[in-house]
Amino acid sequence: MTDINWGWKNELYSAKSPREELAYYEKTAKDYEFEFRGMLKYCGPEMCMQTLLDCETQLEFVVPRNCRVLDVGAGTGLSGEALMREGFIGKIDALEPSDNMFSLAQAKGIYSHRYNDLIFPDTETSVPSCSYDLVISIGVFNTRSTTSDCLWEVVRMAKHGGYLSIYFNKLHWDQGCFKERLIELVAAKQIQILSLEYKPYYEENEAVSFVLKKL
Protein backbone atom coordinates (compact mmCIF):
# COMPACT_ATOMS: atom_id res chain seq x y z
CA MET A 1 0.00 0.00 0.00
CA THR A 2 1.18 3.56 -0.83
CA ASP A 3 2.11 5.66 2.20
CA ILE A 4 0.43 9.03 2.47
CA ASN A 5 2.77 11.97 1.96
CA TRP A 6 2.08 13.84 5.19
CA GLY A 7 4.37 16.63 3.95
CA TRP A 8 1.75 17.63 1.35
CA LYS A 9 0.50 20.57 3.38
CA ASN A 10 3.93 22.18 3.85
CA GLU A 11 4.71 21.67 0.19
CA LEU A 12 1.39 22.99 -1.12
CA TYR A 13 1.23 25.85 1.35
CA SER A 14 4.75 26.97 0.44
CA ALA A 15 3.55 27.79 -3.10
CA LYS A 16 3.58 31.54 -3.58
CA SER A 17 1.97 31.99 -6.97
CA PRO A 18 -0.49 30.31 -9.35
CA ARG A 19 2.41 28.77 -11.30
CA GLU A 20 4.03 27.30 -8.18
CA GLU A 21 0.69 25.82 -7.11
CA LEU A 22 0.18 24.38 -10.59
CA ALA A 23 3.61 22.72 -10.37
CA TYR A 24 2.54 21.06 -7.09
CA TYR A 25 -0.61 19.60 -8.67
CA GLU A 26 1.29 18.46 -11.76
CA LYS A 27 3.74 16.58 -9.53
CA THR A 28 1.20 15.02 -7.14
CA ALA A 29 -1.83 14.41 -9.40
CA LYS A 30 -1.57 10.63 -9.32
CA ASP A 31 -1.81 10.61 -5.49
CA TYR A 32 -4.54 13.27 -5.15
CA GLU A 33 -7.57 11.05 -4.76
CA PHE A 34 -5.84 8.49 -2.54
CA GLU A 35 -4.50 11.15 -0.19
CA PHE A 36 -7.32 13.70 -0.09
CA ARG A 37 -10.25 11.38 -0.50
CA GLY A 38 -9.01 8.16 1.04
CA MET A 39 -6.77 9.41 3.85
CA LEU A 40 -7.95 12.94 4.67
CA LYS A 41 -11.66 12.22 4.12
CA TYR A 42 -12.06 15.29 1.90
CA CYS A 43 -15.80 15.86 1.48
CA GLY A 44 -15.86 19.23 -0.35
CA PRO A 45 -17.69 18.02 -3.49
CA GLU A 46 -20.58 16.41 -1.59
CA MET A 47 -20.87 19.29 0.88
CA CYS A 48 -20.87 21.92 -1.87
CA MET A 49 -23.73 20.08 -3.61
CA GLN A 50 -25.57 19.84 -0.28
CA THR A 51 -25.23 23.62 0.21
CA LEU A 52 -26.69 24.25 -3.24
CA LEU A 53 -29.56 21.83 -2.56
CA ASP A 54 -30.33 23.40 0.84
CA CYS A 55 -30.24 26.86 -0.70
CA GLU A 56 -32.65 25.81 -3.47
CA THR A 57 -35.02 24.32 -0.89
CA GLN A 58 -34.91 27.29 1.48
CA LEU A 59 -35.21 30.00 -1.18
CA GLU A 60 -37.55 28.00 -3.44
CA PHE A 61 -35.65 28.06 -6.72
CA VAL A 62 -34.18 25.27 -8.83
CA VAL A 63 -31.05 25.35 -10.96
CA PRO A 64 -32.21 23.30 -13.97
CA ARG A 65 -30.31 20.01 -13.97
CA ASN A 66 -29.87 20.16 -17.76
CA CYS A 67 -28.18 23.57 -17.64
CA ARG A 68 -24.63 24.51 -18.72
CA VAL A 69 -22.17 24.09 -15.86
CA LEU A 70 -18.53 25.14 -15.51
CA ASP A 71 -16.37 23.37 -12.91
CA VAL A 72 -13.52 25.82 -12.09
CA GLY A 73 -10.43 23.94 -10.87
CA ALA A 74 -11.97 20.60 -11.81
CA GLY A 75 -8.88 18.64 -10.74
CA THR A 76 -9.33 14.89 -11.17
CA GLY A 77 -13.10 15.25 -11.56
CA LEU A 78 -14.32 14.62 -8.00
CA SER A 79 -16.39 17.79 -8.26
CA GLY A 80 -17.79 16.69 -11.64
CA GLU A 81 -18.76 13.32 -10.17
CA ALA A 82 -20.64 15.09 -7.37
CA LEU A 83 -22.46 17.23 -9.97
CA MET A 84 -23.53 14.09 -11.81
CA ARG A 85 -24.72 12.42 -8.59
CA GLU A 86 -26.80 15.55 -7.99
CA GLY A 87 -28.48 14.99 -11.34
CA PHE A 88 -26.68 17.54 -13.53
CA ILE A 89 -27.05 15.91 -16.92
CA GLY A 90 -26.42 18.90 -19.22
CA LYS A 91 -23.10 20.02 -20.68
CA ILE A 92 -20.45 20.18 -17.96
CA ASP A 93 -17.20 21.97 -18.87
CA ALA A 94 -13.97 22.14 -16.89
CA LEU A 95 -11.43 24.85 -16.28
CA GLU A 96 -8.28 23.05 -15.15
CA PRO A 97 -4.67 24.12 -15.78
CA SER A 98 -2.96 20.89 -14.71
CA ASP A 99 -2.58 18.36 -17.54
CA ASN A 100 -1.86 15.56 -15.08
CA MET A 101 -4.92 16.30 -12.91
CA PHE A 102 -7.14 16.73 -15.97
CA SER A 103 -6.03 13.50 -17.66
CA LEU A 104 -7.53 11.63 -14.68
CA ALA A 105 -10.72 13.72 -14.91
CA GLN A 106 -11.00 13.18 -18.66
CA ALA A 107 -10.98 9.40 -18.20
CA LYS A 108 -14.22 9.75 -16.20
CA GLY A 109 -16.07 11.03 -19.28
CA ILE A 110 -17.83 13.89 -17.47
CA TYR A 111 -16.54 17.02 -19.18
CA SER A 112 -17.45 18.21 -22.66
CA HIS A 113 -14.78 20.90 -22.93
CA ARG A 114 -11.64 21.88 -21.04
CA TYR A 115 -10.29 25.40 -20.64
CA ASN A 116 -6.58 24.98 -20.00
CA ASP A 117 -6.30 28.27 -18.11
CA LEU A 118 -4.67 29.36 -14.90
CA ILE A 119 -6.69 32.10 -13.23
CA PHE A 120 -4.78 35.23 -12.25
CA PRO A 121 -6.21 38.30 -10.54
CA ASP A 122 -7.18 41.05 -12.98
CA THR A 123 -6.62 38.90 -16.11
CA GLU A 124 -9.38 37.38 -18.18
CA THR A 125 -9.20 33.67 -18.95
CA SER A 126 -10.39 32.25 -22.27
CA VAL A 127 -13.84 31.48 -20.79
CA PRO A 128 -16.40 33.68 -22.60
CA SER A 129 -18.27 36.18 -20.46
CA CYS A 130 -21.76 35.34 -19.17
CA SER A 131 -21.73 31.81 -20.59
CA TYR A 132 -22.67 29.42 -17.75
CA ASP A 133 -25.91 28.88 -15.81
CA LEU A 134 -23.95 27.43 -12.90
CA VAL A 135 -20.28 27.92 -12.02
CA ILE A 136 -18.89 25.75 -9.24
CA SER A 137 -15.47 25.88 -7.66
CA ILE A 138 -14.54 23.42 -4.93
CA GLY A 139 -11.22 23.43 -3.05
CA VAL A 140 -9.65 25.99 -5.39
CA PHE A 141 -9.80 29.46 -3.81
CA ASN A 142 -7.07 30.20 -1.29
CA THR A 143 -4.47 32.86 -0.43
CA ARG A 144 -1.71 31.50 -2.74
CA SER A 145 -3.10 30.95 -6.21
CA THR A 146 -6.79 31.58 -6.79
CA THR A 147 -6.96 34.52 -4.40
CA SER A 148 -10.00 36.61 -3.48
CA ASP A 149 -9.19 39.04 -6.33
CA CYS A 150 -10.04 36.18 -8.72
CA LEU A 151 -13.68 36.18 -7.55
CA TRP A 152 -14.45 38.88 -10.14
CA GLU A 153 -13.19 36.59 -12.90
CA VAL A 154 -15.39 33.62 -11.94
CA VAL A 155 -18.42 35.91 -11.57
CA ARG A 156 -17.71 37.13 -15.12
CA MET A 157 -18.13 33.56 -16.40
CA ALA A 158 -21.71 33.13 -15.10
CA LYS A 159 -24.76 34.18 -17.11
CA HIS A 160 -26.88 37.03 -15.78
CA GLY A 161 -29.43 35.26 -13.59
CA GLY A 162 -27.07 32.29 -13.25
CA TYR A 163 -25.59 30.90 -10.04
CA LEU A 164 -22.17 30.29 -8.49
CA SER A 165 -21.50 27.75 -5.74
CA ILE A 166 -18.07 28.16 -4.16
CA TYR A 167 -16.45 26.01 -1.49
CA PHE A 168 -12.98 26.24 0.05
CA ASN A 169 -10.95 26.01 3.25
CA LYS A 170 -12.24 28.41 5.92
CA LEU A 171 -8.64 29.20 6.86
CA HIS A 172 -8.27 31.09 3.58
CA TRP A 173 -11.64 32.81 4.02
CA ASP A 174 -10.39 34.14 7.34
CA GLN A 175 -7.02 35.27 5.96
CA GLY A 176 -7.76 36.31 2.39
CA CYS A 177 -10.12 39.36 2.23
CA PHE A 178 -12.88 37.26 0.66
CA LYS A 179 -15.59 39.01 2.66
CA GLU A 180 -14.35 42.39 1.35
CA ARG A 181 -14.41 41.14 -2.26
CA LEU A 182 -17.97 39.85 -1.87
CA ILE A 183 -19.03 43.21 -0.43
CA GLU A 184 -17.45 44.96 -3.45
CA LEU A 185 -19.25 42.63 -5.87
CA VAL A 186 -22.57 43.30 -4.13
CA ALA A 187 -21.94 47.06 -4.16
CA ALA A 188 -21.13 46.87 -7.88
CA LYS A 189 -24.50 45.11 -8.41
CA GLN A 190 -22.73 42.06 -9.84
CA ILE A 191 -24.09 39.50 -7.39
CA GLN A 192 -26.58 38.72 -4.68
CA ILE A 193 -25.38 36.47 -1.85
CA LEU A 194 -27.99 33.73 -1.40
CA SER A 195 -26.28 31.75 1.36
CA LEU A 196 -23.00 31.64 3.24
CA GLU A 197 -22.15 29.03 5.83
CA TYR A 198 -19.35 26.94 7.32
CA LYS A 199 -19.32 23.22 6.61
CA PRO A 200 -17.00 20.21 7.03
CA TYR A 201 -13.97 20.09 4.67
CA TYR A 202 -11.47 17.36 5.58
CA GLU A 203 -10.49 15.80 8.91
CA GLU A 204 -11.35 18.44 11.52
CA ASN A 205 -11.02 21.38 9.11
CA GLU A 206 -13.95 23.57 8.13
CA ALA A 207 -14.81 25.11 4.77
CA VAL A 208 -16.72 28.22 3.82
CA SER A 209 -19.52 27.60 1.37
CA PHE A 210 -21.45 30.27 -0.47
CA VAL A 211 -24.04 30.46 -3.21
CA LEU A 212 -24.26 33.61 -5.32
CA LYS A 213 -26.71 34.79 -7.94
CA LYS A 214 -25.19 36.80 -10.81
CA LEU A 215 -27.28 39.90 -11.44
Catalogue the E-assigned strands of 41-89. 69-72
Give 170's contacts (C-beta < 8 A, 6+ positions apart). 198, 201, 205, 206, 207, 208
Provide, rounded to whole angstroms, the least separation between the CB of residue 44 and ligand SAM.
5
What's 69's DSSP letter? E
Q: Which is nearer to ligand SAM, 63 or 138 (CB)?
A: 138
What's 23's DSSP letter? H
**Exposure on the CB side of residue 107, measured as CA atoms within 13 A:** 8
Provide, rounded to whole angstroms, the least separation between the CB of residue 101 and ligand SAM.
4
Q: Which is nearer to ligand SAM, 30 or 59 (CB)?
A: 30
Q: Which is nearer to ligand SAM, 19 or 59 (CB)?
A: 19
Q: Which is nearer to ligand SAM, 97 or 162 (CB)?
A: 97
Provide, rounded to whole angstroms, the least separation between the CB of residue 67 and ligand SAM.
19
Provide, rounded to whole angstroms, the least separation between the CB of residue 189 and ligand SAM.
26
Provide, rounded to whole angstroms, the least separation between the CB of residue 26 and ligand SAM.
8
Q: Per residue, what are the HEC states of 159-207?
A: EEEEEEEEEEEHHHHHHCCHHHHHHHHHHCCCEEEEEEEEEEEECCEEE
Name the residues that contact ligand SAM, by CB under 6 A.
18, 21-22, 25, 44-45, 73-75, 78-79, 96-98, 101, 118-119, 138-140, 145-146
CB 150 within 8 A of CB 124: no
The residue number whose beta carbon is nearest to ligand SAM equals 75
Q: Which is nearer to ligand SAM, 69 or 186 (CB)?
A: 69
Interatomic CA distance for residues 99 and 101, integer angstroms: 6
